[in-house]
């Protein structure tokens, strides 16, 4: 049965037209479906070995992720809900459930100080499913519906490509301490949280000992659980091991969502292709990665519980806990689900003229998860306001073109270029708007679901469209000082991919190979042309204003010409080739997908040919600093507090300190009396004060800053007693951070010296 035949059925039950028979597949067929997955496994192992990771931690982490995350998660998924009928999608959704279960165990064991016994938690689940007769059937698929071997090969190829890209275009650029000489500041901040989350629940703020950690830290907690079970260092887990399996799981859950909504097996492969260039699996933003996996899995279960009803009622519970994890990993995840549920509920209300109670229940569930995570977990939202297209301030040449040099996170609802009366500035602003839309074309195609006759009758289509509406509203209207509004679009990628794939499936339904082949080849050619002709030109300050605007608008002009030629060509083809009606929706979708994929290939080609090791002055650390921080981490207790002046990055010293220095809390992994405060809620809330961005605002804790400066420059016994009151046990004295006095030797025990850096230990009193 194809999609065209579905007009006679309820639109909420799409046909599964290509899944093989539910009879048990022969062993040979099962083996054929397993073989493709050897490719991404081999690519991950080989890539990590090439980056210098020893085989032992690779094997250890692989065993942990398989035995402590995937297997318990799959069993819990089947017990509470059902099975997808195939192992690959079960593993994707099961891994999301397994990480949620692992986080619960991590919180319980860490809260009572039994982190080293966390391995017991997954073993309890495995034992229960092995011993309890009612749970034993969960070890196998009760009603197998294996996907075609072509699906396995398609997903495995995408997973392999994503692993190779992530390994050599991202991981290779960011060497783990102490191998590098410069570190992306956010990685050290994440590292500080991983260290903290291995020792306490609720966690303290590592940079301001004794205060609560206000940040969306659940991804870091997941890493902390891995550290507790495997014994692998937090540095190696964060910089090398965590993201690769997450990347594969992200592809699997995105593919599962696409197949679920469309009912066509190959849409899962197409969705994986759409996801590939979008960096949903990110070393630099692990919070995004975990939120994508868990929010997409929650959506699969919500769609099933509300519309499909193929599994047990435990889907509601699983969706609830997955939503909590998604919101605790990234605050932008849950508003998308609320948008989807809300628009679907509105559609059903208008269609049926009665309250959509199941959708109301789902919305209440997600809203509860959002409120709870905002209250108890999520942070870094202070300093946000509302302004249309505030994200454009981060575009290259925006200030030059529009004259708007206001700080991100400041200003009213309308940006300066639209209120200044400068027509050239306003023109430039709208060009930037067009360029942003053009660059995110894949995330716009899904809106067509509301216009296609077959899909607009299905509330699931309105659910997907609702997630897109919420994402675009969030990105276009929020004004965050660090451009965090972009994460709304990055979080919506799985839903956009599912929508795009569904549109293509509808267009190709009931047709032979000829029409899809012609459309596919045409889209491939046009997509490459679109990518090559819409590359932005450099803008020179020496050029006249009209020349600057013309150079800025060239990509839009090229895209407009290409779109016009596409429409004219399609109309001409329609006169010569009967029966093409309905195919038109697939062509633009595939064109923007190919253009996005072409951009990824171009970037990868350049990245693989050049050394892109992260070398930025603001992230530079000297060998002496790295060695001293490592020594401190090895010779101090996990809960010790360190007094240090390392709160500034190595540029923009006082006045104007860029407070994103995390040497001690990150590399040493120890709590500090005070270190970089830039990402705290208190600092973000001061963004724009005196015309300065949040990262160079004075410390929200001036008493701690002053105490630190005084102890390092002119120590006294009284000052050291004050420090002891904060729990300080160590002093990290580095002259590059400010004056340090040799008289520290008279008040504390010198334990380490490398160059000018000295580390002191305060004796117990």
pLDDT score at 653: 45
pLDDT score at 345: 98
Q: What is the 3-state secondary structure (H, E, C) of 347-409?
A: HHHHHHCCCCHHHHHHHHHHHHHHHHHHHHCCCCCCCCEECCCHHHHHCCCHHHHHCCCCCCC
Closest by Cα among 453, 394, 392, 452 to 426: 392
pLDDT score at 22: 42
Whole-number Å distance between alpha carbons of 128 and 212: 36
Query: Which stretches in the chain have pLDDT values below 50?
Result: 1-25, 652-654
pLDDT score at 1: 34
pLDDT score at 606: 81
Beta strands 671-672; 641-644: pairing state: parallel
Token pair of 271, please? 């969705």
Whole-number Å distance between alpha carbons of 693 and 117: 44
410-417 contacts: CB < 8 A, separation 24 or more?
A: 410/385, 410/479, 410/481, 410/687, 410/688, 411/385, 411/387, 411/479, 412/387, 413/386, 413/387, 413/388, 414/387, 414/388, 415/387, 415/388, 415/389, 415/390
Cα-based distances in Å from 658 to 371, 506, 648, 652, 679: 32, 52, 5, 6, 11
Q: Which helix or strand (DSSP H or E) is residue 12 part of?
A: none
Burial environment of residue 54 by CB neighbours within 10 A (0 to 12, 13 to 18, 19 or more): exposed
Listed by start position, the domains of the chain span 3-192+218-311, 511-612, 618-761
Whole-number Å distance between alpha carbons of 220 and 679: 16
DSSP string across 124-170? HHHHHHHH-TTTGGGGS-SS--PPPHHHHHHHHHHHHHHHHHHHHHT
538-547 contacts: CB < 8 A, separation 24 or more?
A: 539/396, 539/397, 539/400, 539/401, 541/400, 545/424, 546/424
| Chain centroid offset of residue 483 CA | 14
Burial environment of residue 561 by CB neighbours within 10 A (0 to 12, 13 to 18, 19 or more): exposed
Whole-number Å distance between alpha carbons of 756 and 585: 67
Whole-number Å distance between alpha carbons of 175 and 632: 20
DSSP string across 675-710? ---TTSHHHHTTTTGGG--GGGSPPS-HHHHHHHHH
Q: Which helix or strand (DSSP H or E) is residue 26 part of?
A: none
Q: Which helix or strand (DSSP H or E) is residue 215 part of?
A: none
pLDDT score at 576: 64
211-236 in b/e form (b: 16+ CB < 10 A) is: eebbbbbbbbbbbbbbbbbbebbbbb
Inter-residue contact 681 to 331 (CB < 8 Å) = no
Tell me the pTM.
0.93
């Amino acid at each position: 049965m194809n999609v065209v035949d579905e007009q006679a059925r309820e639109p909420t039950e799409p046909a599964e037209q290509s899944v093989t028979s539910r009879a048990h597949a022969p062993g040979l067929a099962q083996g054929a479906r397993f073989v493709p997955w050897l490719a991404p496994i081999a690519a991950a192992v080989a890539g990590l070995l090439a980056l210098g990771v020893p085989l032992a931690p690779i094997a250890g982490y692989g065993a942990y992720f398989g035995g402590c995350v995937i297997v318990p998660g799959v069993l819990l998924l089947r017990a509470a809900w059902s099975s997808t009928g195939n192992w690959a999608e079960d593993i994707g959704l099961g891994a999301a459930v397994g990480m949620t279960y692992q986080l619960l165990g991590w919180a319980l064991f860490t809260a009572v100080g039994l982190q080293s016994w966390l391995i017991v938690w997954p073993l309890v689940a495995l034992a229960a499913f092995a011993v309890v007769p009612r749970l034993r059937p969960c070890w196998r698929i009760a009603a197998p519906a294996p996907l075609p071997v072509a699906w396995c090969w398609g997903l495995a190829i995408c997973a392999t490509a994503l692993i190779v890209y992530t390994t050599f275009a991202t991981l290779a650029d960011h060497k783990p301490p102490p191998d590098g000489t410069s570190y992306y500041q956010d990685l050290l901040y994440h590292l500080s949280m991983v260290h903290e989350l291995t020792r306490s629940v609720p966690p303290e703020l590592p940079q301001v000992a004794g205060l609560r950690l206000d940040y969306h830290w659940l991804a870091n907690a997941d890493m902390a659980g891995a550290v507790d079970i495997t014994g692998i260092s937090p540095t190696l887990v964060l910089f090398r091991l965590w993201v690769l399996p997450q990347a594969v799981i992200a592809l699997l859950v995105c593919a599962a969502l696409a197949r679920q909504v469309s009912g066509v097996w190959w849409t899962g492969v197409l969705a994986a292709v759409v996801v590939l260039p979008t960096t949903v699996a990110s070393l630099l933003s692990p919070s995004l990665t975990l939120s994508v996996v868990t929010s997409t899995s929650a959506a699969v279960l919500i769609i099933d519980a509300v519309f499909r009803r193929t599994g047990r009622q435990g889907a509601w519970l699983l969706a609830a806990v997955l939503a909590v994890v998604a919101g605790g990993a990234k605050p932008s995840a849950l508003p998308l689900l609320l948008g989807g549920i809300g628009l679907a509920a509105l559609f059903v209300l208008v269609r049926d003229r009665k309250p959509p109670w199941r959708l109301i229940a789902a919305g209440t569930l997600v809203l509860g998860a959002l409120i709870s995570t905002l209250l108890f977990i999520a942070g870094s939202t202070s300093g946000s306001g509302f302004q249309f297209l505030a994200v454009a301030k981060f575009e290259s040449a925006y200030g030059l073109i529009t004259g708007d040099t206001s700080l991100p996170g400041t200003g009213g609802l309308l940006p300066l270029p639209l209120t200044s009366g400068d027509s050239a500035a306003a023109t430039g602003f709208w060009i930037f708007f067009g360029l942003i839309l053009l660059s995110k074309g894949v995330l716009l195609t899904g809106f067509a679901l509301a216009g296609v006759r077959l899909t607009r009758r299905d509330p699931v289509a309105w659910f997907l469209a609702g997630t897109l509406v919420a994402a675009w509203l969030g990105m276009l209207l929020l004004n965050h000082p660090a451009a965090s509004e972009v994460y709304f679009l990055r979080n919506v990628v799985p839903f956009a991919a599912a929508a795009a794939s569904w549109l293509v499936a509808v267009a190709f339904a009931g047709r032979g190979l000829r029409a899809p082949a012609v459309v596919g080849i045409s889209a491939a050619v046009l997509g490459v042309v679109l990518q090559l002709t819409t590359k932005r030109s450099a803008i020179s300050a020496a050029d006249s204003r009209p020349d600057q605007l013309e150079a800025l608008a060239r990509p839009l002009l090229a895209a407009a010409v290409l779109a016009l030629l596409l429409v004219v060509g399609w109309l001409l083809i329609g006169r010569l080739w009967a029966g093409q009606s309905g195919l038109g929706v697939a062509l633009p979708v595939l064109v923007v997908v190919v253009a996005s994929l072409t951009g990824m290939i171009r970037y990868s080609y350049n990245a693989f040919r050049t050394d892109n090791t992260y070398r930025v002055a603001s992230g530079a650390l000297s060998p002496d600093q790295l060695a001293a921080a490592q020594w401190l981490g090895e010779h101090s207790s996990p809960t010790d507090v360190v007094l240090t002046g390392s709160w500034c990055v190595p540029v923009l010293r006082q006045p104007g300190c860029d407070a994103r220095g995390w040497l001690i809390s990150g590399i040493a992994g120890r709590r500090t009396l005070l270190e970089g405060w830039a990402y705290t809620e208190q600092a973000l809330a001061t963004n724009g004060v005196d015309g300065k961005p949040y990262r160079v605002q004075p410390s929200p804790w001036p008493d701690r800053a002053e105490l630190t400066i005084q102890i390092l420059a002119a120590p006294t016994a009284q000052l050291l007693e004050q420090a002891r009151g904060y729990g300080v046990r160590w002093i990290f004295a580095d002259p590059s951070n400010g004056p340090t006095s040799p008289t520290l030797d008279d008040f504390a025990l010198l334990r380490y010296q490398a160059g000018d850096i000295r580390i002191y230990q305060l004796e117990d009193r």
